[in-house]
Amino acid sequence: AALIGIGSSTFHPEASRIARLASGGRYGLAQSTFQVGGNTGTAFGPLLAAAIIIPFGQGNVAWIGLFALFSLGLLYAISRWYRAHLNLFKLKAGQAATHGLSRKRVIASLAVLAFLVFSKFFYMTSLTSYFTFYLIEKFDLSVASSQLHLFLFLGAVAAGTFFGGPIGDRIGRKAVIWFSILGAAPFTLALPYADLFWTSVLSVIIGFVLASAFSAIVVYAQELVPGNVGMIAGLFFGLMFGAAALALPCSAIWLTATASCSSTRCALTCRCSASSRFFCLGPNNADSNADFPVHHHAGHLATQGSGRRLERRTRGDPGVADRRRARQ
């Protein structure tokens, strides 16, 4: 796990530099195209769990490693192209800032953007980690079915990531950021009161809206500090994403202590609201275009979910419940 983290933190800043170099001036589109690959892979994770891990066991995931070997060859070809164009990139990196903001204003703007990315990752990581448990708890879904609903949410995240960048190129990045941060709040507030169908619909809308701003935020920050593309990518891809992941166990401890479905809904609701209120402190547009930890095994989750359903269905007959628990 540590090696995966080190490899990811090394890859993303440099890959972001390459995407910007190959953008042809459409920085939002290039950043979105780069990021949508990772989000699409994340979206297929729940399908992988439902189709392979649950029926056949975790060891069969090793076959997916064949894709990594293919990626090595692809990265080698890209690295040769990057080396041939590195001098051109260095010339572009030496350009001066044209936004006219003071150093203090730039630092304050980056701090606001960093907090927004932290809150977005915290919200999305929490929803990704707890959404299946919420569905099992409230709607009595099986583990495989809950994974399919999670796939819908993550697929919407990938779509929002892809479309957010080009839209930011066209209408301005700050407008996309405003829409993303504030637009998810009403759907998040409605989520705890929805039935299963509307829960899926709302989760798709939330995923699309939240993810639409990340490319715009990264490019916005890169334009605030021109010539430091790798540093900005490392800050937003690495530090804020890692900080959000580290903050996740704190909410897991709280949810485990309260151990209620309502506390899960409350946690999902509060994160987007906090992000929305903080965004009012954002900078002016510097745009050139004016309940449970995630580590539980799937088998344990299935037993846990079936146990809850068993209690509800056999509440009037303790003897039946005892016999079925003994068989489990």
pLDDT value at position 201? 95
Residue 289 scores a pLDDT above 70: no
Percentage of the chain beyond pLDDT 70 is 70
pLDDT value at position 88? 64
Q: What is the pLDDT of residues 94-133, one digit of tens each?
A: 555 566 778 888 899 898 888 888 888 888 888 888 898 8
pLDDT range class, residue 86, cuts 50, 70, 90: confident
Record the tokens describing residue 265, joined without a space: 């809904």
Residue 182 scores a pLDDT above 80: yes
| Residue of 317 and 49 predicted with greater confidence | 49
Decide: pTM greater than 0.75.
no
Q: What's the whole-number average pLDDT of the chain?
A: 73
Of the listed ranges 36-50, 137-151, 246-260, 271-285, the one predicted with least confidence: 271-285
Stretch 142-170: mean pLDDT: 89
Q: What is the pLDDT of residues 8-19, one digit of tens each?
A: 777 877 888 888
Residue 25 scores a pLDDT above 60: yes
pLDDT value at position 284? 46
Of the listed ranges 215-219, 234-238, 318-322, the one predicted with least confidence: 318-322
The CATH architecture annotation of domain 2-295 reads Up-down Bundle (1.20)
Could you state, in order of their start, the residue ranges of all structural domains in the chain? 2-295
Q: What is the pLDDT of residues 223-282, one digit of tens each?
A: 888 878 878 888 887 776 677 667 667 666 665 655 444 444 554 444 444 444 444 444
